[in-house]
C-alpha cells in the first residue's frame, strides 16, 4: 500500500485518544499495518504537515504545559530554572526561573533555528540519539553564554550538557544528495542541499575552554560573530512592521530586549576598533521591546510590555566608539545599502573593505 497523504496533529486530546484506541486493539491489525510503505515520511518533501500553518516540518513538539514550539531536549530539569531541562516549564517566552542568567542561556539554546530532534531525519541524516542535536553555532553560543554567567548553576548546566552527556553538534555543508524519493524507496530527485556533519563536543571548562580555538579565528570573524545572535533572535520587528501588537515606526529593525542585552554583554569585551558601532547604528533600533503579557494589550491604558530604550546596548556602543580613535572604520558613505538579510555577512564584508582601505593608506 502507498501512503497518499497524512497529517500531524499535536493536540494532546487527539493523540491520547488515538493511543488509547491503538492500545485497546492489541495485536489485531498488525498484518495490515506491515503492508504500508512509510518510506516517504523520511523524504524532505514528505506529505505530512502540521495542522497549524507555518510550522516547521520536523522540530515542532508539544510541551508538558501544552504550549508548542521548537525546544532543545536535555535529560533533566535543573531546580530554579524553567528552560534548562527536558522541554520547558515556562508558560511563555518571557518567563524565567530563579536563576535568570543561566535560564536565558538555555532559552536561547532551545530556540536554535537548526536542529535535528531525536529519532528523526533532517538535513539528510538520521539522529539516532536520545536527545536533539543542534547546529554548532548554537552550541557555541550556549557554551559562551554559560561561561559569561560564570556561577554555580551555569557551570552545572554546561558540565552536564557538554562533559557528561557529550551532546554533539552538526555543521551544514552543501552536498549532492537525494531530496525526493519514490514511494517504493528509490531516489527520485538528487540535488545540492544542506547536509549535516556531526562534530564531537569539547569538554566544558568554566575557566574558559575556548581560548585556544579562538586564536585560530580571525579578528573580523570574532567581532562579527556576535551579530549571529541578532540574526537568529526569535523576536524581532522589521522597519514599519506591526507584530506582537506592537508597531515599529522606525526605519530600523527592533529586537527583543533579551537579544540586545546579550549582544551588549558580548561586544563590551572587544578591545579593538571595529565596524560594529556604525553597522548597529545604521540598521538596529536603539529601542528594544518586551512582549505584552496581555494578548490584547493595545486595548489597555497601561501595558507591562512594549518598547523601551536599549540602555545596555547604547552603553556598550559608546565604549567601543571611545576605543575607535583611528577613524578608519567610520568612513564611507555607501555602507548603508538597504537593510541586510544577515548582519553577520554584512559585517564581514565591511570589515574586509575597511582592512583593505587601511592597508592602502599605509602604502
Calculate the average pLDDT of the chain.
70
Kindly list the catalytic residues. Answer: 109, 139
Q: Quick check: 165 pLDDT over 80? A: yes
Query: Does residue 297 register a pLDDT over 80?
Result: no
Asked if the model's pLDDT at residue 29 lies above 90, the reply is no
> What SS3 class is residue 114?
coil
pLDDT band with cut points at 50, 70 and 90 for residue 357: low
* pLDDT number for residue 48: 56
Q: What proportion of the chain, given as a percentage, has pLDDT over 70?
A: 54
Question: Above 60 in pLDDT, residue 360?
Answer: no
The answer to whether residues 347 and 227 touch, using CB atoms and an 8 Å cutoff, is yes
Domain with CATH 1.20.90.10 in the chain: 64-199
* Residue 328 pLDDT: 43
Q: Mention every residue, 6+ apart, whose C-beta is less than 8 A from residue 171.
A: 135, 136, 196, 197, 199
pLDDT-wise least confident of 61-65, 148-152, 189-193, 250-254: 61-65
Tally DSSP H helices, then E strands, for the chain: 12, 14
Q: Residues 320-325: what's their mean pLDDT?
A: 59
Q: What secondary structure does DSSP assign to 287-331, as a single string?
A: EEEE--SSTTGGGSSS-S-EEEE-HHHHHHHHHHHHH--S--TT-
Is residue 169 scored above 90 in pLDDT?
yes
pLDDT of 211:
44
Distance CA 230, CA 220 (A): 17
CA distance 356 to 300: 54
Q: What's residue 135's pLDDT? A: 92
pLDDT for the residue 201: 86
The full DSSP string for 183-240 is TTS-EEEEEEEEEEEEEPPPPP-TTTS-HHHHHTS-HHHHHHHTHHHHHT-S-EE-TT
**Cα–chain center distance at 208:** 23
User: What is the structure's pLDDT at 6?
Assistant: 61
On whether the CB atoms of residues 270 and 223 are closer than 8 A, the answer is yes
Which distant-in-sequence residues (6+ apart) come within 8 Å of 302 by Cβ? none
CA distances from 328 to 274, 298, 318, 325, 349 (A): 9, 45, 17, 8, 15
Over 60: is that where the pLDDT of 311 sits? Answer: yes
* Comparison of pLDDT for 272 and 224, the residue scoring more: 224
Confidence of residue 7 (pLDDT cuts 50, 70, 90): low
Write down the pLDDT at residue 77.
Answer: 76
Percent of the chain with pLDDT over 90: 5
* CA atoms of 200 and 209, how far apart (whole Å): 15
Mean pLDDT value of segment 280-287: 77
* Confidence category of residue 306, pLDDT binned at 50, 70, 90: confident
Residues 344 and 224: beta-carbon distance below 8 Å: yes
The whole-number pLDDT of residue 292 equals: 72
* Res. 239: pLDDT tops 60: yes
Rounded Cα gap, residues 287 and 257, in angstroms: 8
Q: What angle in degrees, to the nearest 10, is found between the helix axes of 257-267 and 100-110?
A: 110
Selected from 1.10.630.10, 1.20.90.10, 3.90.25.10, 2.40.270.10, the CATH number assigned to the domain covering 64-199 reads 1.20.90.10
Cell of 229: 545572535
- Integer angstrom CA distances of residue 28 from 14, 22, 25, 31, 136: 21, 9, 6, 8, 45
| pLDDT for 198 | 93
Question: Is the pLDDT confidence value at 170 over 90?
Answer: yes
Query: What is the pLDDT averaged over residues 333-349?
Result: 59
Q: Are the C-beta atoms of 153 and 81 separated by less than 8 Å?
A: yes
Residues 259-266: what's their mean pLDDT?
77
pLDDT (average), residues 51-66:
41
pLDDT digits (tens, 9 = 90+) for 60-119: 344 444 444 444 444 467 888 888 876 778 888 888 888 888 998 999 888 888 999 888
DSSP state of 42: G
Amino acid at each position: 500500500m502507498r501512503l497518499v497523504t497524512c497529517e500531524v496533529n499535536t493536540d494532546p486530546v487527539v493523540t491520547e485518544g488515538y493511543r488509547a484506541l491503538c492500545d485497546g486493539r492489541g495485536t489485531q491489525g498488525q498484518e495490515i499495518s506491515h503492508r504500508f510503505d512509510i518510506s516517504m515520511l523520511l523524504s524532505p518533501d514528505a506529505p505530512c504537515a502540521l495542522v497549524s500553518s507555518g510550522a516547521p516540518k520536523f522540530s515542532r513538539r508539544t510541551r508538558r504545559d501544552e504550549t508548542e514550539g521548537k525546544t532543545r531536549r536535555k535529560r533533566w530539569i535543573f531546580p530554579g530554572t524553567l528552560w534548562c531541562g527536558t522541554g520547558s516549564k515556562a508558560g511563555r517566552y518571557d518567563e524565567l526561573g530563579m536563576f535568570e542568567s543561566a535560564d536565558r542561556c538555555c532559552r536561547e539554546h532551545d530556540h536554535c533555528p537548526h536542529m535535528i530532534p531525536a529519532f528523526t531525519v533532517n538535513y539528510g541524516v538520521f539522529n539516532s540519539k536520545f536527545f536533539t542535536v543542534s547546529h554548532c553555532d548554537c552550541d557555541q553560543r550556549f557554551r559562551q553564554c554559560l561561561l559569561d554567567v560564570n556561577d554555580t548553576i551555569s557551570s552545572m548546566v554546561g558540565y552536564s550538557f557538554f562533559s557528561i552527556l557529550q551532546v554533539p553538534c552538526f555543521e551544514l555543508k552543501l552536498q549532492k544528495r537525494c531530496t525526493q524519493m519514490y514511494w517504493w524507496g528509490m531516489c527520485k530527485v538528487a540535488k545540492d542541499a544542506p547536509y549535516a556533519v556531526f562534530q564531537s563536543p569539547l569538554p566544558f571548562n568554566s575557566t574558559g575552554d575556548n581560548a585556544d580555538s579562538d586564536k585560530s579565528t580571525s579578528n573580523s570573524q570574532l567581532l562579527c560573530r556576535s551579530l549571529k545572535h541578532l540574526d537568529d533572535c526569535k523576536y524581532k520587528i522589521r522597519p514599519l512592521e506591526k507584530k506582537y501588537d506592537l508597531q515599529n515606526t522606525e526605519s530600523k529593525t527592533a529586537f527583543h530586549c533579551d537579544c540586545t542585552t546579550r549582544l551588549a554583554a558580548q561586544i563590551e569585551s572587544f578591545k579593538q576598533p571595529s565596524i560594529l558601532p556604525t553597522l548597529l547604528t545604521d540598521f538596529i533600533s536603539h529601542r528594544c521591546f518586551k512582549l505584552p503579557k496581555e494578548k490584547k494589550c493595545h486595548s489597555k491604558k497601561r501595558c507591562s510590555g512594549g518598547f523601551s530604550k536599549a540602555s545596555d546596548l547604547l552603553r556598550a556602543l559608546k565604549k567601543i566608539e571611545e576605543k575607535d580613535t583611528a577613524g578608519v572604520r567610520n568612513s564611507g558613505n555607501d555602507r548603508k545599502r538597504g537593510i541586510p538579510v544577515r548582519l553577520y555577512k554584512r559585517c564581514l564584508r565591511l570589515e574586509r573593505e575597511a582592512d583593505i582601505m587601511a592597508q592602502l593608506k599605509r602604502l
